[in-house]
Amino acid sequence: MHMVRLIRATILLFVPTRWARKIVNRMGYRIAESARVGLSWVDAERLTMNDRAYIGHLNRITGDFAIDMDVSGKIGNANVITTGGSATGPAQPELRIGKVSGLTSYHFLDMTASITVGDFSALAGRGSQLWTCLSGYSPTKKDAGAARAIVIGRNVYVGSKCLLLGGIEISDGAIVGGGAAVLRDLPHPGLYVGSGIQKL
């Protein structure tokens, strides 16, 4: 199976999407006719790109997870999306990007557990980190690889250089200011700022 992933990633990197689509769709991916993939390494277990979905240039996407991009979902340029540990749950992690949503550039997403970006939401600016793996190192096997999903609701804006930890949910309509560390749920719409994530 790893060889199939390697072949698909190589085809998407070097062959224009209009030709590559026909080949990789026969190998398990589902890329719509109007979807596009730039010069990026895309080595995911599953990839679904609906109409006008877009993956930009210089992204490094690799690991045992699925990607599901809704209509006009976007992954910008130079992002790193990878597994940072071993998932402990029975379900395969999935990156879900909603309708007219996505991430811009130079972000890092750890896909040890699932990450959801709701419709009309943006991981904006650059340099944010989303960590679903809660224990990169643990002296006991019991905690090793613990991971929790991150859920970003609809109509959410996350500014530059934010830190989101596994297990958090961000409410529909929330705005997270640049440089914020989101260590707990944001259950209500509003503007949240600062390392202590205060609501204004």
pLDDT in tens, 143-193: 445 689 999 999 999 999 999 999 999 999 999 999 999 999 999 999 998
pTM of the model: 0.89
More confident residue, 81 or 2: 81
Q: Tokens in use for 107?
A: 């972000």
**pLDDT score of 147:** 84
Instruction: Flag whether pLDDT at 198 surpasses 80.
Output: no
pLDDT in tens, 24-65: 999 999 999 999 999 999 999 999 999 999 999 999 999 999
Angle, alpha carbons 97-5-14 (nearest 5°): 85
Q: Which domains does the chain have, with CATH numbers?
A: 2-199 (2.160.10.10)
Residue 131 and residue 110: Cα distance in Å, rounded?
Answer: 5
pLDDT band for position 91 (cuts 50, 70, 90): confident
Q: CA-CA distances (angstroms) from residue 25 to 5, 8, 93, 158?
A: 12, 9, 21, 33
